[in-house]
Amino acid sequence: MNKSRLEAFSDGVLAIIITIMVLEIKAPEDDSFESLKALIPVLSSYVLSFVYVGIYWNNHHHMLQVVKKINGSILWSNLFLLFWLSLIPFATSWIGEHHFSAVPMSVYGFVLLMCAIAYNILQNKIIKLEGKDSVLHRAVEKDFKGKISNFTYLSAIPLAFVSPWISGLLYIAIAILWIVPDTRIEKQIN
């Protein structure tokens, strides 16, 4: 099976996700700079989520760059990832509208955790099809960043009820960890 349709579909869905997030930002009714102050939580949640979607797009692109073949299991795993990514606009809107309160922050963390799990499932399905000698397997077999991310999300979800700000800082820390382009695949290619 050719991977180009999977890439094109995924790119389209991710573009729509970003579009939905930005459309959730409502312009203030007033025309002053002061009126923008009320939008700070909404804009902050948008920036964080935009970074997360960008990270997934970047890593998805790198992963598919080395994939030679796909099958039905990979197609469904990719859809599972896109499902969870498609919930980011909902969670983003909720945390922005409710000023990063506990329940929305914990749900946001759950969505991020499920995105990470879905990405790992997709990665593992590709490795299963392509084998242990594949470029992808060699690149990700010691997935330190992935393990740290999942542990951090698992910690941040209940911590939202202690302090939503602690959860928020943990989500930001993981975004910073991943925003530096992951060169593991590129190193394997070269």
pLDDT given at position 140? 85
**pLDDT tens per residue across span 87-146:** 999 999 999 999 999 999 999 999 999 999 999 999 999 999 999 888 888 888 888 889
pLDDT given at position 13? 97
**pLDDT tens per residue across span 150-170:** 999 999 999 999 999 999 999
pLDDT given at position 190? 66
Listed ranges 38-42, 76-80, 137-141; the one with the highest mean pLDDT:
76-80
| Residue 79 CA: distances (Å) to CA of 73, 117, 129 | 10, 13, 17
Residue 100 tokens, joined: 């990063």
pLDDT given at position 180? 77
Planar angle of CA 5, 182, 91, nearest 5 degrees:
70
End-to-end CA distance of the chain: 26
Supply the mean pLDDT for the chain.
Answer: 92
Rounded percentage of the chain residues whose pLDDT exceeds 90: 71
